[in-house]
Amino acid sequence: MKDFPKTLLELEKCFSTEEACREYLVALRWPDGFYCPHCGHDKAWLRSDGLYECKSCGRKTSVKAGTIFQGSRKSLVLWFRAIWWVSCQKNGASALGLQRILGLGSYQTAWTWLHKLRRAMVRPDQDKLTGTVQVDETFIGGAKTGKRGRGAEGKALVLIIAQEKGKATGRIRLRKIPDASANSLEAALKETVELGSMIKTDGWSGYTGLKIIGYKHEVIRTTVDIGENLLPLCHHEASLIKRWLTGTHQGAVSHEHLDYYLDEYTFRFNRRTSKSRGMLFYRILQNAVAIKPTSYNGITLGVRGRKGKNHKM
């Protein structure tokens, strides 16, 4: 095995013990070798319980501490299998599916694991899209029967940013936004698209300031519908996302978690042509040791700071 397992057989061969999984995490977390997070010293004993004991300050460090594995009583062997399975689900992973495949006693554990892994599907230093992108908004979710004439009732507004690659889509970014005001649109675009890139939109007034903040801007459709009648690449993406949410997740995605489901969709979509599932496995693990830990309570209470309370347009 180089870097990552290519097949299930390789995974099972390489990661059959807690020790092997730990060694792999150590290499990902400290590519230049272990150093003590307390004092920075780079020499340590590896104890029989798998903890590193700093030769300078004597403090013990677990490779799991400060990663998404922190506090989990389940084995890394099981976690690695979960990540492999999640990497192999081209249409996304459901908690029930994960619970069944791993034989987990509790649905809540499977649900929590998936949420932790979704957080590991975004690189901490995620790059921005460049070149030419099509940008449009769509409504997602909400009660099926809303008040007439208020189509946005209970729905979330999502900004779709699709990079043009010839006539097809290159990579995408998705952001839940509170409304379609210039402020919200520009903030989301600054996070996701490199300044100087070409942004194609419809004639909605919220986009008129893009040139001022440093983008090239072209209006390719003069209509100003919000959430409907999308630009071609965005329209294609919107229908795939909706199918995914109603299929794999059976429409059971609540607004406060939508961001993370969008992250999972983005992760899978942007790697859809990757030949090796092992590459996805590797990426998730790499991020898993680089991001801060979350707990069940953190997941159910905490959202990303972008409050989506105002779903109405």
Nearest approach in angstroms of CB 53 to Zn ion is 9
CB 203 within 8 A of CB 185: no
CB 83 within 8 A of CB 89: no
Number of residues lying near Zn ion (CB under 5 A): 7
Residue indicated by tokens 């900004």: 159
CB 306 within 8 A of CB 179: no
Nearest approach in angstroms of CB 24 to Zn ion is 23
Nearest approach in angstroms of CB 67 to Zn ion is 18
Nearest approach in angstroms of CB 34 to Zn ion is 10
Nearest approach in angstroms of CB 51 to Zn ion is 12
Which spans in the chain are helix H?
8-14, 18-29, 76-88, 95-102, 107-119, 182-192, 232-247, 255-270, 277-288, 296-301
Cβ-based nearer residue to Zn ion, 41 or 306: 41
65 is an interface residue for Zn ion by CB under 5 A? no
Nearest approach in angstroms of CB 52 to Zn ion is 9
β-pairing, 198-202 with 132-140? parallel
Cβ-based nearer residue to Zn ion, 59 or 171: 59
Nearest to 235 by CA among 246, 225, 222: 225
Site for Zn ion (CB under 5 A): which residue of 57, 195, 213, 252? 57
Nearest approach in angstroms of CB 42 to Zn ion is 9
Cβ-based nearer residue to Zn ion, 59 or 271: 59
Q: According to CB under 5 A, which residues from 27 to 56 bind Zn ion?
A: 36, 38-39, 41, 54, 56
Cβ-based nearer residue to Zn ion, 29 or 221: 29
Nearest approach in angstroms of CB 265 to Zn ion is 41
- Site map 128..167 versus Zn ion, x via CB under 5 A: ----------------------------------------
Burial (0-12, 13-18, 19+ Cβ within 10 Å), 29 = middle
Which spans in 2-68 are helix H?
8-14, 18-29
Cβ-based nearer residue to Zn ion, 38 or 292: 38
**Which of these segments, 57-65, 109-117, 152-160, 169-177, binds Zn ion (CB under 5 A)?**
57-65
Nearest to 178 by CA among 61, 21, 81, 311: 311
Q: According to CB under 5 A, which residues from 93 to 122 bind Zn ion?
A: none
Cβ-based nearer residue to Zn ion, 32 or 127: 32
Cβ-based nearer residue to Zn ion, 58 or 131: 58
CA dihedral 250, 254, 260, 261 (to 10 degrees): 20
Query: What Rg do the C-alpha atoms of the chain give, in angstroms?
Result: 22
Cβ-based nearer residue to Zn ion, 54 or 174: 54
CA–chain centroid gap for 95, Å, is 16
β-pairing, 52-54 with 44-46? antiparallel
- Where along the sequence are the contacts to Zn ion (CB under 5 A)? 36, 38-39, 41, 54, 56-57
